[in-house]
Amino acid sequence: MTASEPLLSIRDLTIGFSTQNGFAEALHGVSFDVMPGETVAIVGESGSGKSTTAHGIINLLPENGKVTGGEVLFEGCDLVKLSRNEIESVRGREIGFVPQDPMSNLNPVWSIGFQVKETIRANGIATSKRDVEKHAIDVLKQAGLDDAERRLGQFPHQFSGGMRQRVLIGMGLSATPKLLIADEPTSALDVTVQRVILDNLAELTMLNNTAVLFITHDLGLAAERAEKLIVMYKGNIVEAGDSREILQNPQHPYTRRLVAAAPSLASQRIQAAVEHKTVDEPGGEFDLALAAEERVHEIDAEKHDSTPVIEVTNLTKTFKIRRGNFRSENFTAVNNVSFSVAKGTTTALVGESGSGKSTIAKMALGLESITSGSISIEGADLASMKRSGLMTLRRRMQPVFQDPYGSLDPMRNIGDIIGEPLRVHKFGTASERSQRVRELLDQVALPQELFNRYPNELSGGQRQRIAIARALALKPDIVVLDEAVSALDVLVQAQILQLLAELQSELGLTYLFITHDLAVVRVIADNVVVMQKGEIVETGPTDEVFGNPREAYTQNLLDAIPGANIELAV
Amino acid sequence: MLRYILLRILQAVPVFFGTTFLIYFMVFAMPGDPILAMFGDKTPNPAVLEALRAQYNLDKPFIVQYLLYIGDIFQGNFGISYSGREVSEILVRTFPVTLKLAVMAVVLELILSISIGLFSGIRKGKFFDNAMLIISLVLMSLPIFVIAFLAQFFVAIQWGWASPTVGGNTAWWNMLLPAIVLALSLYATSMRLMRGSTVETLGNDFVRTAYSKGLGRRRVIPVHVLRNSLIPVVTNSATNFGILIVGATVTEGIFNVPGVGNTLFQAIVRGERPTVVSFVTVLVIFYVFLNILVDLLYAVLDPRIRYV
């Protein structure tokens, strides 16, 4: 095969799913090529058909899915026409696959070694027990796992998300395939871990001249990692071509919206705007950079009083970890942390997982006991509060959690869910309460018809709006947002961030915003508290910390924002 | 691990006292005088009556009776049945019979429900699956004594494939029919659980990943689907023990198996306090230990479970 011939060539691929309402086509004639050794990224929001395309290539569609037309030519052979046995010998050996969620893609009941070894054996790389073992260790070492020999006997639950993803990448590449399909391989991981893992992946694929089909919802990440970009929307390719070109000069309106909404890119543009004092042109209906800038102006103009609403002083939290046979040891999750949040502003707590940021949020909400130190809310000390005091406090401070699928009771309708805090706090009569719920639905820009609907009928973005409406029901002064936008698609994320900003200026809310995504922080926060391993690394106004980070750790986090180094036409 | 087992055994202590007290109280509250019943139609001599009452501690207040009884148990003395035999002797005679019957039934039930449940789950919505679901529904709606009588009538009497009653011959092949009946009474719920659990496991991401690695069905189903799906079935089989004992009592009665269930049933009818309470106590202890055992087995199947 010559270099000019594509390794993978997809022609007019259509895929459909049989559902309760009949057969629904999800992919409407998609065509693209992947050359040997090339990295191609497919970008799109959930439901755009990017994962369906990936699964369709190696026939891993769920049982109700079916390729209804088109060809998947891999080295000239149509994979769609292969029998079950034939496709099995292509999978793993010729085309490797790295799945999305490292938490659910390893079988929890088998050891890591077992799962790596069975891959090696299935692809005929080695047969004797010693060779297989040796290969397995090599695979894990290459994927960047230290002391791989010892790791072989361990189980997935003993690994962190990043380590599991390394195992999955190792397995995907174990048979040195010609093509690797990576389906959102790092979207469940911290940015710093993401960078290290993707660097490792790039290195390994470069070494063996493996082509990569990279699937992601993050435009910045795609542009940073791939030479070619394919933008998908509702089962169609809307734009394809050189990645830098698409980013700097998007043609299709949808691509323009994506560029405008990507927090990673927005943060860069804000930085540019701060430095050059240029006026940005709006890139679409939700331009995050623009929204953030407006906020800065507003706050400057308002001259808000700087009395702290939340004051955290020398806060420490220690957990007891049982070690078996009646022994236990202490683990300090939060160590001597102090910061304060001024009224009407947003303070972001940032850090990787395990940095203690969520523990602080839980303590501030009174959901976790305080080991030492104090949190005072509008001058009242949280630790010394009785149950009734906590009840009045909760009236003024409400949470919004990360997972909009887990935080709404599926058995109750939307009206009940939003109205529950009102009932608990004995607000007004039944009709007054339902009036307030309708008001809240308006406030979060949802139709009032949703009142009698159930959470499973709503999209992720709508659910998160419901969660925000519930938090606002009692007209609180403070809202604690624990990774409130991390589980959402970029476009939806942009809308929610916009909504939060509007609500803040309208109602004078104070936000404590917990997130691992620095790009989002840039857009929403006035002040940043950077945390690492339970301690504060750096704190200050957002522009200062981003423009001039004093600590290496902060710099590291900032560098890890995907697409941070891409030249943009701003 | 050690700590866990110790804690579980400590938990068993209140369970032991609670159940024995409850059973003792219930038997005490049963109407009728057991000593009078021993004489049938005859009127006993008042002196003999008093002597017998004193012998079985029936002349003392309830709580004293209970404490005396517990004291005896801790000395390894399970009391004497009203027919004059040592309760422990009856236990030693009947327990192995029931154990054999129960093990046969459970083994049959697990083999059937796991294999059929697995296959049904894989073929979800297909003909085999639907047929098996209907059969399990029929079995679930039939009380065990109906299954027992039907089996006794057709299999044993009409077709003559087995003897209608077990009687004194407790060889395993002679108890096969009651064991099958007992197994069928447990089968339906287990099979449905296994089927549901298989369907759920098949939908897991790691199954797709296993295929993406190049593994075939023959590898993925037994290695990545079967083991994960077994976990709820194993947990359930421990709680099934109660149903098993109820089923054994009925089956042993119908097929005249000289086991624990049969003896216990007759003792309840005759109001024999020492026999009833001792048998139930032994069953409770057995149940508690079986549960600990299954919980440990659970940890073997699922490495995420570590008892510390």
Q: What does the pLDDT look like over B205-253, one tens digit per residue?
A: 999 999 999 999 999 999 999 999 998 898 888 778 778 888 888 899 8
* A294 in a structural domain: no
pLDDT of residue B49: 81
Residues of B in contact with A122 (CB under 8 A): 213-216, 219
* Dihedral-angle region of residue A534 (phi above 0 means left; psi in -120 to 50 means alpha; beta otherwise): left
Tell me how close the Cα of A90 comes to any Cα of chain B, in angstroms: 7
Contacts of A474 (CB under 8 A, 6+ apart): A395, A396, A398, A421, A422, A425, A427
CB of B223 less than 8 A from some CB of A: yes
pLDDT per residue, tens digit, chain B (308 aa), is: 777 778 888 888 888 888 888 888 887 777 777 777 777 777 778 888 888 877 777 778 888 888 888 888 888 777 777 777 888 888 888 989 999 999 999 999 999 999 999 999 999 999 999 999 999 999 999 988 899 989 888 888 888 888 888 877 778 888 899 999 999 989 999 999 999 999 999 989 999 999 999 999 999 999 999 999 998 898 888 778 778 888 888 899 899 889 898 888 888 887 777 788 888 888 888 888 888 888 888 878 888 877 65
Predicted confidence (pLDDT) at residue A301 exceeds the cutoff of 50? no
Q: Which residues of A touch B300 (CB under 8 A)?
A: none
Give this complex's ipTM: 0.78
Distances, alpha carbon B163 to alpha carbons A371, A421, B105, B153, B184, in Å = 72, 68, 18, 10, 19
Does residue B205 belong to any structural domain of this protein? yes
Residues A144, A232: one domain?
yes
Give a yes or no: residue B52 inside a domain: no
Q: A171 touching B, CB under 8 A?
A: yes
Residues in chain A with CB shorter than 8 Å from the CB of B227 are 109-110
Residue labelled with tokens 């509060």: A385
A104: nearest CB among B205, B211, B227: B205
Same domain? For A326 and A179 the reply is no
Per residue in A88-146, pLDDT (tens digit) is: 999 999 999 999 888 889 999 999 999 999 999 998 888 899 999 999 999 898 888 87
Q: Which of B3, B219, B302 sits opposite A122 (nearest CB)?
A: B219
Residue A12 has pLDDT above 60, yes or no: yes
Q: Tell me, what CATH number does A217's domain have?
A: 3.40.50.300
**A316 and A240 within one domain:** no
Share of chain A above pLDDT 70, in %: 89
B185 C-beta neighbours (distance < 10 Å), count:
27
- pLDDT over 50 (residue A1): no
Q: Do A108 and B213 touch (CB under 8 A)?
A: no
Number of structural domains, chain B? Answer: 1
- Tell me if residue A18 falls in helix, strand or coil: strand
Interface test with A, best of B7, B129, B209, B230 (most A CBs within 10 A): B209
User: Are A105 and B304 within 8 A, CB to CB?
Assistant: no
> Who among A101, A155, A175 is closest to B205 (CB)?
A101
Question: Could you tell me if residue B245 is inside a domain?
Answer: yes
Residue A118 touches partner B, C-beta closer than 8 Å:
yes
Note whether residue B23 is domain-resident.
no
- Sequence-distant (6+) residues with CB within 8 A of B6 are none
* Distance of alpha carbon B261 from alpha carbon B267, whole angstroms: 10
Phi, psi of A92 (to 5 degrees): 80, -55
Instruction: Tell me if B138 is assigned to some domain.
Output: yes
* Beta-bridge mates of residue A478: A397, A510
Question: What is the tally of structural domains in chain A?
Answer: 2
Asked if B214 lies within 8 A of A123 by C-beta distance, the reply is yes
Whole-number pLDDT of residue A326? 63
pLDDT over 70 at A26, yes or no: yes
Q: Does residue B55 sit at the A interface (CB-CB below 8 Å)?
A: no
Mean pLDDT score of chain A: 85
Report percent pLDDT > 90 for chain B.
29
pLDDT class for A569, splitting at 50, 70, 90? very low
- Residues of chain B found within 8 Å of residue A105, distances taken between Cβ atoms: 205-206, 208-209
User: Is B205–A99 a contact, with Cβ atoms under 8 angstroms apart?
Assistant: yes
Is B215 part of the contact surface with chain A (CB cutoff 8 Å)?
yes
Asked whether residue B46 is domain-assigned, the answer is no
Q: Is residue B210, in this structure, part of any structural domain at all? A: yes
Alpha-carbon gap: B51 to the closest alpha carbon of chain A (Å): 54
Q: State whether A370 and A475 are in the same domain.
A: yes
| Residue A287 domain flag | no
Q: Does residue A326 share a domain with residue A186?
A: no
Nearest-by-CA chain B residue for A328: B308
Do residues A356 and A448 share a domain? Answer: yes
Q: Are A228 and A333 within one domain?
A: no
Indicate if A83 and A232 belong to the same structural domain.
yes
CATH of residue B141: 1.10.3720.10
Same domain assignment for residues A255 and A312: no
Residue A470 lies in a domain: yes
Does residue A283 belong to any structural domain of this protein?
no
The CA-atom distances, in angstroms, between A232 and each of A28, A67, A165, A301, B290 are 11, 18, 25, 41, 56
Put simply, whether A323 touches B (Cβ < 8 Å) is yes
CA-wise closest residue to A345 among A380, A310, A381, A382: A310
- pLDDT given for residue A57 in this prediction: 93
> What own/partner pairs with CB < 8 Å and gap ≥ 24 does A200-205 have?
A200/A143, A200/A144, A200/A166, A200/A169, A201/A98, A201/A169, A202/A39, A204/A142, A204/A143, A204/A169, A204/A173, A205/A39, A205/A173, A205/A180
Last residue of a domain, one of A205, A229, A261: A261
Has residue A280 been placed in a domain?
A: no
Q: Do B3 and A326 touch (CB under 8 A)?
A: yes
- Do A138 and A42 belong together in one domain? yes
* A255 lies in the same domain as A313: no
Q: Which domain holds residue B278?
A: 90-301
Q: How far apart are CA B131 and CA A112, in angstroms?
A: 39
Q: Domain limits at A40? A: 8-261
Shared-domain flag, residues A89 and A155: yes
